[in-house]
């Protein structure tokens, strides 16, 4: 399958890479199916690209770069949306806002995206923890994470592939996050 996106151009994916949101993302309840997209030139940030609307994509990143003690407890409704069973592999992400001025980048810690890797389902949760900000400054945390990533990286990306956007095989690539 393929989608011609407005951000990434042509992205090919297989049905097994589609993640289903029962309730959609906040503000986008009708868009239920997404693929994770990444570029080797932009590690650490993944994009949730709608397969139903070529111009809708959300940048996501793991919350641990911004808050090491981050927790997203699942409520009963979240478990239902995720079709969650006790042994399922779950992965948590937070949505980034990336303005033209990257120093003003923020991350939403109050509304994480939880992916049930085992079932290819996902939900955007709304946490009640008032200590979690909707617009947490992210530039410094992202720079530290990127610096650490680049220092530990042993494989270089070939120059020709730095602009290639690819759908992620999330079932094999994502580790347990809860």
Predicted local distance difference test score (pLDDT) of residue 178: 44
Q: Any idea how long the chain is?
A: 178
Query: 165 CB contacts (<8 Å, ≥6 apart)?
Result: 5, 8, 9, 11, 37, 38, 39
Q: Long-range pairs for 143-151 at CB < 8 Å and ≥24 separation? A: 144/65, 145/44, 145/65, 146/43, 146/44, 149/43, 149/44
Instruction: Let me know: does 18 contact 120? Beta carbons within 8 Å.
Output: yes
Predicted local distance difference test score (pLDDT) of residue 158: 47
Kindly report the pTM of this predicted structure. Answer: 0.85
Predicted local distance difference test score (pLDDT) of residue 172: 67
Q: What radius of gyration, in Å, describes the C-alpha atoms of the chain?
A: 16
Predicted local distance difference test score (pLDDT) of residue 152: 72
Predicted local distance difference test score (pLDDT) of residue 146: 78
Each domain of the chain, given as residue ranges in start order, spans 2-173
CATH architecture classification, 2-173: Roll (2.30)
Predicted local distance difference test score (pLDDT) of residue 42: 74
Phi (first) and psi of residue 137, to 5 degrees: -55, 135
Walking along the chain (178 residues) 10 residues at a time, the average pLDDT comes out as: 92 95 96 92 88 96 91 92 94 94 94 96 95 90 79 55 70 54
Predicted local distance difference test score (pLDDT) of residue 151: 73
């Amino acid at each position: 399958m393929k989608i011609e996106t407005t951000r990434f151009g042509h992205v090919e994916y297989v049905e097994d890479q589609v993640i289903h949101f029962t309730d959609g993302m906040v503000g986008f309840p009708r868009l239920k199916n997404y693929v994770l997209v990444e570029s080797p030139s932009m590690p650490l940030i993944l994009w949730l690209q709608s397969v139903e609307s070529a111009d809708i994509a959300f940048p996501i990143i793991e919350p641990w770069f911004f808050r090491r003690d981050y927790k997203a407890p699942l409520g009963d409704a979240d478990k239902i949306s995720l079709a969650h069973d006790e042994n399922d592999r779950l992965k948590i992400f937070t949505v980034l806002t990336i303005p033209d001025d990257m120093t003003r980048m923020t991350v939403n810690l109050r509304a994480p995206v939880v992916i049930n890797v085992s079932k290819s389902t996902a939900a955007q949760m709304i946490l009640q923890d008032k200590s979690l900000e909707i617009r947490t400054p992210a530039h410094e945390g992202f720079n530290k994470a990127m610096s650490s990533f680049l220092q530990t990286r042993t494989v270089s990306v070939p120059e020709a592939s730095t602009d290639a956007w690819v759908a992620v095989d999330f079932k094999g690539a994502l580790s347990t996050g809860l």
